[in-house]
Amino acid sequence: MKILHMSIQEITFEDIENFCEEKNREGIQLDYKVDLTEGSLAKHFAAFSNTRGGIIVIGVQQNKDTGLPESWKGIPITNSAKYIERINQWATSITPVPHFQVTATSEKKGKVFVILRIYEGDKPPYFVDYNPNIYERTGDITSLIKHASPDLVEILFNKKEKAELARLNLFKRAEDVYQHALRQEDIKRKRLIDEAKQKQDGSENSYYQKNLGTDAVMSTITLQPFFPIKALVNPSEIVEKISDYTVDKSTYTSFPERSLNPMPDGAYHFSHNYAGNLQCHQIYSYGLMFFAQNIRDVHRNTNTIYLSYIAGKIFVFLSSARNFYKLCNYQGVLIGSLKIDNMIGKMVEEISSNGRLMFPKNIESFLPTYNWEIETDTDILNDNDEFYSYYMQLLRKIYWGLGIRDMNEGLIKEFLQNNRLTL
């Protein structure tokens, strides 16, 4: 069922025709509608959000007894804007606000299909306003939407907490891996210093002399599915298919490094250079992406933190995430964060123009740790315009949080272009 795992912006008229010719049956994640002349989709929004999410294809006539598509002519392209507006209105009748995307396919002989993707909700249960019932999606053709049982209602109320616990447990595992790898890397650093001392040429002085991480300002960015309870990919594929999702923008950074090492349920890379700068990359089969890197140049002993470095790192990370979740065929809500530690006494320099005389603002940090939540979804990452919009929105939060009142979006676009940070 290919279209269930595609970004809806990529689905063409021909994709839907081929999908229907394959006789894909309606089920827990798929629904067909010939048009929107009868009834509301409000219950569908609630039911899909409360269950596993899914897709509604409008323009397909299904057999009510079998759930199989019978004809797939699409709808007149002149009706598509009206349908999309109506769908957006139905979404407003759901509490909490559901995650969804809606679009029209490419046109063929004046016809299109309208595709509605509703994500598994991250704040269940979802209600239709002024309706006391809670709805769930089923695989039963005779009753694709039904009232949720008391047991399921209890599960839905607990689902948010269980999903959060699953994410925290996976993140804690990544933190433990980071700390262990840091200790191992520091043993390696000391061994290199001892080997250099034996040469008696003073070369040991070129190595960082303190324990790794002592002077580091660590930036850690993470992202994972809302409810990471099942593996999305085999751990071996994380390494074998790394060329399909790694992003190498050497001006600032790359993620993940191609030299990933196996570990339980995933793969990792940890390294440091002679100046004490370090980085850790981790990818898990359950969908967690973890990128920790020092953003202070400890070799030059500078206390300046450049926003250009942070912005470049975020762009590369989100670009890699876009590729990785597409490789895993994951469609849904993504939760993560950007955390920066050890910021007391550090100066933050904003992004400035490369081509014009301009003195960037330098703001002194006043908090030891900064933390920004990241909440997005795969359709946002897969759509170039939505990606850039979300990226700019995240940067504005970071600018403001670090004490810089105004962010010049034109300078950010110039920065991205000058440093080959493109999709």
Rounded average pLDDT per 10-residue block, the chain, 423 residues: 82 96 93 90 94 94 94 96 96 95 96 96 90 87 78 80 92 96 90 84 78 88 93 96 90 88 96 85 98 80 86 96 94 94 90 60 86 93 94 96 90 90 89
**pTM (predicted TM-score):** 0.82
**Residue 49, SS3 per DSSP:** helix
Secondary element (H or E) of residue 137 = strand 135-137
Other Cβ atoms within 10 Å of 3 Cβ, number: 20
Q: Which residues of 33-60 are buried (b: 16+ CB within 10 A; e: fewer)?
A: bbebeeeebbbbbbbbbbbebbbbbbbb
CA-based end-to-end distance of the chain: 27
375 - beta bridge partners? 335
Burial of 234 (0-12, 13-18, 19+ CB in 10 A): exposed
Q: 213, 301, 311: which is closest to 253 by C-alpha?
A: 311
Cα separation, 151 vs 176, whole angstroms:
36
Tokens 């890197």 locate to 293
DSSP lists the bridge partners of residue 100 as 118
- Position 357 scores a pLDDT of 42
Backbone angles phi, psi at 293, to 5 degrees: -155, 145
Residue 356 CB coordination number (10 Å): 8
**What pLDDT score does 356 carry?**
47
Tokens representing 226 are 């809302």
Residue with the two structure tokens 């704040």: 123
Q: Estimate the share of the chain in helix, then strand, then coil, as percent rounded to the nearest 5.
A: 40, 25, 40
Structure tokens at 398: 């970071």
State the Cα angle at 375 between 374 and 379, rounded to 5°. Answer: 125
Helix (H) or strand (E) holding 103, with range, is: strand 100-104
**In this predicted structure, what is the pLDDT of residue 300?**
64
Please report where in the chains the tokens 């315009």 appear, as a residue: 385
Residues 6+ apart with CB under 8 A from 331: 4, 5, 6, 7, 53, 117, 119, 325, 378, 379
d(CA 250, CA 400): 28
Write the burial class of residue 95 (CB in 10 Å: 0-12 exposed, 13-18 middle, 19+ buried).
middle
* Sole residue written with tokens 């700390």: 179
Cβ within 8 Å of residue 252, ≥6 positions away: 308, 309, 312, 313, 316, 419, 421
Closest CA relative to residue 3, chosen from 103, 81, 90: 103
Residue with tokens 């109320």: 157
- The answer to whether 51 touches 11, Cβ cutoff 8 Å, is no
Structure tokens at 154: 């209890």
Cα–Cα distance, 98 to 365 (Å, whole number):
37
How is the beta sheet containing 266-272 ordered, strand by strand?
A: 261-263, 266-272, 278-284, 289-294, 218-225, 333-340, 370-377
Alpha helices, DSSP H only, in 51-149? Answer: 77-91
Q: What is the pLDDT of residue 318?
A: 97
For β-strands 145-147 and 218-225, DSSP reports them as unpaired
Q: Whole-angstrom Cα distance, residue 365 to residue 104?
A: 46
Q: Who's near 64: CB < 8 A, 6+ residues apart?
A: none
Whole-number Cα distances in Å, 330 to 71, 211, 333, 334, 391: 29, 40, 9, 10, 20
